[in-house]
Amino acid sequence: MPLSLPQLSYTYADYATWPDDARYELIDGEAYLMSPAPKRAHQEICGEIFRQLADYLEGKDCRAFIAPFDVRLNAKKADDTVVQPDIVVVCDPKKLDEHGCVGAPDMVVEVLSPSSIKHDKMVKLELYRRHGVREYWTVDPDILLVEAHILRDNEYFIHAYGDSGEAPVSLFADCRINLDTIFRYSPRKNIGDATPSVNTPPVVKK
């Protein structure tokens, strides 16, 4: 899990002065030192999901971005929350400035690692719900699982998908992510002990 730094409170103005050789995130004024560079499989999975999203969005209003990319969730208020998701999709061009995204993206994807899984599935899940991220995916390479959290009535509902087939992106009527392609980079997939697919039917829970 990212390490929290001792301090009363930080804002984006503080964050912008910190050196580039270490990555931080701010959540409600609390600074978290992010883990060292992730493993190669993490980067390959991120890259493949980004490629599929970017290919689909070519020529459309929405745009996909890959980390490092600052997302300032409450920039117009306290400006004390800045995160760097693995992938974001932004459909409102007015939310984009030279530093990144100002406000909630339409979609966030986090590829989990052992050091970040609790942070991404608890702290960030609640953060993204609170700020109105419409779709939040967590991708777990170790158990070959995608959980798509879809926001309805200010609550997330979960659709779970396994390591084969396709997972629909609810933001778009005809966008589907090929799971066989993204999970081919998983070390578990490569050693041949993948868990059975849970792709059909999707699990929906509140």
Q: What is the pLDDT of residues 172-185, one digit of tens each?
A: 999 999 999 999 98
Are 198 and 164 within 8 A, CB to CB? Answer: no
Q: How confident is the model at residue 201 (pLDDT cuts 50, 70, 90)?
A: very low
Average pLDDT over residues 159-184: 97
Are 76 and 104 within 8 A, CB to CB? Answer: no
Q: How confident is the model at residue 20 (pLDDT cuts 50, 70, 90)?
A: confident
Return the SS3 of 106. Answer: coil
Average pLDDT over residues 120-140: 97
Owner of token pair 């509902």: 157
Q: Are strands 135-140 and 107-111 parallel, antiparallel or unpaired?
A: parallel
Q: Does residue 16 have a pLDDT over 70?
A: yes
The set of residues, in sequence order, having a beta carbon less than 8 Å from that of 51 and lying 6+ positions away, is none
